[in-house]
Amino acid sequence: MSGLKPIFLEPVLQEKLWGGDRLGTQFGYAIPSSHTGECWAISAHPSGDCRVKNPEYAGKTLGDLWRERRDLFGNVGGDVFPLLIKIIDARDDLSIQVHPDDAYARTHESGALGKTECWYVLDCDEGASIIIGHNAGSPEQLREMVEQGRWPELLRQVPIRKGDFFQIDPGCLHAIKGGTLILETQQSSDVTYRFYDYGRLENGKPRTLHIEQSLAVTQAPFRPHAIHRETVREGGAQVTRLVACPYYTVYRVEVDGLWERDWNRPFVNVSVIGGQGVLDGQEIRTGDHLLLPAGYGKMTIEGSVELICSHL
């Protein structure tokens, strides 16, 4: 150990019409209501910048550390902390959406980042599903099916189970459906085009749709992103790499003994999704989110604990 401590973060809870209460019942967060949809667990985004719990950084947010202590993040470049990690509790269906890539966002969204995201299914109801992709054979057919409102036929519905993992590339139409609890790792961006909202009303009015932008960025025909999980045994842990893409690499780790690793990365995000253990003398339990700073050195975790870890 280098003397640097893990940086523990206070999640930001966000109410949503489609949200539920599982962020309270399953993760122990003080939820503001039984319509709590999102826990922004590791975030420096202005819409939900996490407070740092460590006394040595009292009063600081992750965004403050990013601006003032870039050394903790290996001095990587960029105006904004590049990743955003959320837990999403969808009691009801979310709208169908699509994100642009960096190039489209740069031109059409005044320099914003595009968005690549991925979902790890923490839990779901029996028979739950999500929407990933569509069944149109070409951009022309996509437009035709959208204009004719043939949504049930168009949307590609995928049954899900606990532990499933999906990578959502820009241009991939997607939606989380009700009864699903997921952990999302994404580029820290807010550029979302809402394609379809099931004709629902919010406060008596339909929410804004972005049909033309959605058609412009949606890939047709849809090509699924194949997931190749690679699992290795590392001492007292089963380490599975879920995805490695240009923006992030994500792992699921099941520790059932003693696990040591020197990540040797600018920084590593760690979310505790089950169990409890001890990380270099500090207790960690379900619902904790932390960041290992640059130069942390060898990390040691002991216990029976399930983690999602990610780095650039």
Return d(Cα 254, Cα 239) in angstroms, integer.
7
Q: Where in the sequence numbering do the catalytic residues fall?
A: 194
Are the beta carbons of 23 and 89 closer than 8 angstroms? yes
One-letter identity of residue 307: L
Q: What ranges make up the beta strands (E) of 96-224?
A: 96-98, 117-124, 129-134, 155-159, 165-168, 174-176, 180-187, 193-196, 201-202, 205-206
**55: Cβ contacts below 8 Å, ≥ 6 apart:** none
Are the beta carbons of 197 and 206 closer than 8 angstroms? yes
Let me know the angle formed at the C-alpha of 246 by 242 and 248, rounded to the nearest 5 degrees.
Answer: 45
Are the beta carbons of 86 and 44 closer than 8 angstroms? no
DSSP notation for 187-243: ES----EEEE-TT-EETTEEPP--HHHHHHH--SS--------EEEE-SSEEEEEEE
**90 closest CA partner among 160, 151, 43:** 160
Are the beta carbons of 174 and 186 closer than 8 angstroms? no
Let me know the angle formed at the C-alpha of 64 by 61 and 69, rounded to the nearest 5 degrees.
Answer: 120
Specify the DSSP element, H or E, that contains 253.
strand 249-255
